[in-house]
């Protein structure tokens, strides 16, 4: 260990404007922006000045392996030492998935964690970088803390850092950095033990060996080493089951977002080929998941509903569920299952942090978002590989194929046809204008015609947290029709180029109806009507969405 203890240095420098979105649990910007002098340091300083318990506290640190991770870890370690943190737990190569970080925070009694990732955004010098803060419950920092950090960034004029040589993260071990201990652990082990507590690996393994070939695409991002351990080493799937398994700084040029557009190779293998019975992918930092069966795509809203309906196939949940929650734009498929099970179903704003209070208060066990996020009370983040194991466990237990399980589900509960249309990189002023114009008209829409039906409700979703009574307003424009069909419009909070407009469309067909229509066809009248109402094509100049899910 080559570090020497240096006195703390206070650097009075010009601090760049961070432009952090208030209320977001991190800072996600282009790699180039992060490379500006003092940019990263300023945000970290604001975190260390604001996060409770920094002095003598333990902090978890790691990331998804993208470009910039290792130098950022070096800076954060030296700043943490200067701020009097007693110990940082980091991982070999700095590789740590978001759900694994959440687990480590909870397990080690840390005051929180810093995760270096821009999630599913492109990586590399021309991609994005991000710093995400998680609190001591393992979940994304909540509104109060993040707003305090944001306020702090506005008045910073210096930061504290010690001078020291860089710690070699290739080697597991304990190092000293000033008065702080740095423990470099294998980032995979603890997560694997947690999965072993929840799932019956023998049952899954036997099922897979009985002619159920699977494939997993790590998209050259963080889940590769975890998936190799779980799927190949523990469940006995053949070598090569995990594709693109080495985390690369630029994700090999791939967009590490597990959807039909960006994980197209995997989607083609399953949807067009016959080689595999099951396929899955996770995003850059391992919290998102996409599930595919042979010739079958599982919509994430349905995924949450199917897992909820089959909770008792999974040993870790066999005693029952407290309740479930979904984000507002997620389809109501899980609501129907919750009603049938006699448990509560909560509707929260978009973003995982809103599930935290409900999970901590034991109001819910499962939760999910339409954006390929599914999770449970085992951590306080969504968890991609956990969702993959859930599916494998349910399939193994019910001895079904993916499509059989989905068909049975719809035959019992009916089908919530669902699609999301994303219009990306719209100039900010145009997107804001489109959104505001529609927002201004919401009140007048009630009882007017929309796609041949009457609008029964039109509002901007606002959430009253049932645990801490905080209110979060302006979470998306909802248009609800007399037959419970819905259209939701919101502007993305995670994009880094211009604005992304998301349009969510949903219609329910009971089990007696057509359960196997093409969602785009079935929802075409809603799609047309919202385009007419919001003038999407005209205002954006875009003829079609950038991504359709």
Using rule CB under 5 A, residue 369 touches Zn ion: no
Count Cβ atoms within 10 A of the Cβ of residue 425 and give its class: 0-12 exposed, 13-18 middle, 19 or more buried: middle
From 87-95, 201-209, 366-374, 474-482, give the range in contact with ligand G1P by CB under 6 A.
Answer: 366-374
Please identify which of the residues 3, 81, 119, 136 carries the catalytic annotation: 119
What burial class does residue 14 get, using C-beta atoms within 10 Å of its C-beta: 0-12 exposed, 13-18 middle, 19+ buried? exposed
Please identify which residue in 492, 524, 531, 546 interacts with ligand G1P, judged by CB under 6 A: 492
257 binds ligand G1P (CB under 6 A): no
The secondary structure of residue 228, as a DSSP letter, is I
371 lies in the binding site for ligand G1P (CB under 6 A): yes
Given the rule CB under 5 A, which of 196-204, 274-282, 284-292, 329-337 is the region that contacts Zn ion? 284-292
Active site residue 119: yes
Structure tokens at 143: 């509104």
Residue 204 gets which letter from DSSP? H
Give SS3 for 132.
strand
Q: Does 102 bind ligand G1P (CB under 6 A)?
A: no
For 394, the token pair is: 């349910």
Cβ 84 vs Cβ 129: under 8 Å = no
Q: Which residue is nearest to Zn ion (CB)?
A: 119
C-alpha gyration radius of the chain: 23
Which residues, in sequence order, are CB contacts of 267 under 8 Å at separation 6+? Answer: 260, 279, 292, 297
Least Å distance between CB 281 and ligand G1P?
15
Q: Least distance to Zn ion from the beta carbon of 117, Å?
A: 7
Give the x-and-dash track for 505-544 against ligand G1P (CB under 6 A).
----------------------------------------
In degrees rounded to 5, what are phi and psi of residue 112?
A: 160, -165
Q: Is 299 in the site for ligand G1P (CB under 6 A)?
A: no
Which of 20, 69, 90, 119 binds Zn ion (CB under 5 A)? It is 119
Tokens 């190949």 label which residue? 232
Q: Is the distance from CB of 212 to CB of 398 less than 8 angstroms?
A: no
Residue 252: how many other CB atoms lie within 10 Å: 15
Binding flag, residue 355, ligand G1P (CB under 6 A): no
Q: Nearest Cα to 151, choosing from 46, 276, 291, 279?
A: 46
C-beta of 54: minimal distance to ligand G1P in Å?
26
502 binding ligand G1P? (CB under 6 A): yes
Cβ neighbours for 84, distance < 8 A, ≥ 6 positions apart: 54, 55, 56, 179, 180
- Report the DSSP beta bridge partners of residue 481: 455
* Rounded Cα–Cα distance for residues 64 and 381 (Å): 15
Contact 161, 15 (CB under 8 A): no
Regarding beta strands 58-63 and 453-460, do their DSSP bridges make them parallel or antiparallel, or are they unpaired?
unpaired
Binding mask 286-305 for Zn ion (x = CB under 5 A): -x------------------
Binding mask 306-335 for ligand G1P (x = CB under 6 A): ---------------------x--------
Query: Which one of residues 20, 117, 119, 121 is an interface residue with ligand G1P (CB under 6 A)?
Result: 119
Residue 332 touches which of ligand G1P, Zn ion, none (Cβ within 5-8 Å per kind)? none
Using CB under 5 A as the binding rule, whether residue 383 contacts Zn ion is answered as no
Residue 350 near Zn ion by CB under 5 A: no
Closer to ligand G1P by Cβ: residue 28 or 243:
28
What residues line the site for Zn ion (CB under 5 A)? 119, 283, 285, 287
What residues line the site for ligand G1P (CB under 6 A)? 119, 327, 350-352, 369, 371, 373, 492-495, 502
The set of catalytic residues is: 119
């Amino acid at each position: 260990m080559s570090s020497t203890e240096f006195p703390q240095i206070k650097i009075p420098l010009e601090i760049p404007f961070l432009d952090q979105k208030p209320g977001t649990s991190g800072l996600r910007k282009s790699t180039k922006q992060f490379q500006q002098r003092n940019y990263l340091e300023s945000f970290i300083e604001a975190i260390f000045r604001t996060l409770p318990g920094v002095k003598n506290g333990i902090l978890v640190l790691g990331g998804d392996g993208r470009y910039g991770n290792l130098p950022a870890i070096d800076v954060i370690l030296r700043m943490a030492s200067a701020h009097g943190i007693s110990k940082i737990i980091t991982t070999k190569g700095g590789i740590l998935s978001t759900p694994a970080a959440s687990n480590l925070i909870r397990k080690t009694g840390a005051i929180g964690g810093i995760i270096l990732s821009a999630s599913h955004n492109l990586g590399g010098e021309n991609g994005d970088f991000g710093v995400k803060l998680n609190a001591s419950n393992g979940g994304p920092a909540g509104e109060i803390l993040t707003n305090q950090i944001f306020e702090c960034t506005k008045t910073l004029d210096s930061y504290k850092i010690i001078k020291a040589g860089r710690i070699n993260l290739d080697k597991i071990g304990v190092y000293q950095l000033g008065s702080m201990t740095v423990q470099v652990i294998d980032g995979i082990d603890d997560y694997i033990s947690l999965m072993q507590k929840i799932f019956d690996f023998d049952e899954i393994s036997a099922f897979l060996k009985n002619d159920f070939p699977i494939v997993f695409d790590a998209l050259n991002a963080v889940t590769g080493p975890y998936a190799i351990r779980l799927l190949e080493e523990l469940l006995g799937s053949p070598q090569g089951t995990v594709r693109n398994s080495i985390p690369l700084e630029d994700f090999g040029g791939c967009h590490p977002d597990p959807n039909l557009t960006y994980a197209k190779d995997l989607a083609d293998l399953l949807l067009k080929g016959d080689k595999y019975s099951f396929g899955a992918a996770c995003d850059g930092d391992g919290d998102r998941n996409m599930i595919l069966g042979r010739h079958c795509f599982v919509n994430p809203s349905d995924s949450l509903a199917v897992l909820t309906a089959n909770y008792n196939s999974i040993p870790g949940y066999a005693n029952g569920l407290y309740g479930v929650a979904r984000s507002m734009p997620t389809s109501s498929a899980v609501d129907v299952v919750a009603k049938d099970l006699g448990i509560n179903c909560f509707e929260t704003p978009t973003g995982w942090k809103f599930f935290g209070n409900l999970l901590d208060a034991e109001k819910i066990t499962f939760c999910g978002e339409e954006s390929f996020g599914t999770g449970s009370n085992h951590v306080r983040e969504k968890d991609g590989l956990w969702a993959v194991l859930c599916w494998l466990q349910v399939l193994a237990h019910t001895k079904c194929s993916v499509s059989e399980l989905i068909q049975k589900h719809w035959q019992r509960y009916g089908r919530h046809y669902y699609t999301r249309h994303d219009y990306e990189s719209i100039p900010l002023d145009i997107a804001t204008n489109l959104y505001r114009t529609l927002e201004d008209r919401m009140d007048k829409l009630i009882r007017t015609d929309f796609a041949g039906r009457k609008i029964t409700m039109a509002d901007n979703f606002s959430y009253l947290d049932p645990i801490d009574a905080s209110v979060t307003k302006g979470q998306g424009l909802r248009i609800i029709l007399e037959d419970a069909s819905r259209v939701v419009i919101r502007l993305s909070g995670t994009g880094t180029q211009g604005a992304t407009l998301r349009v969510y469309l949903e219609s329910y067909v009971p089990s007696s109806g057509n359960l196997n229509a093409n969602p785009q066809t079935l929802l075409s009248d809603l799609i047309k009507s919202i385009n007419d109402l919001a003038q999407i094509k005209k205002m954006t100049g875009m003829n079609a969405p950038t991504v359709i899910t």
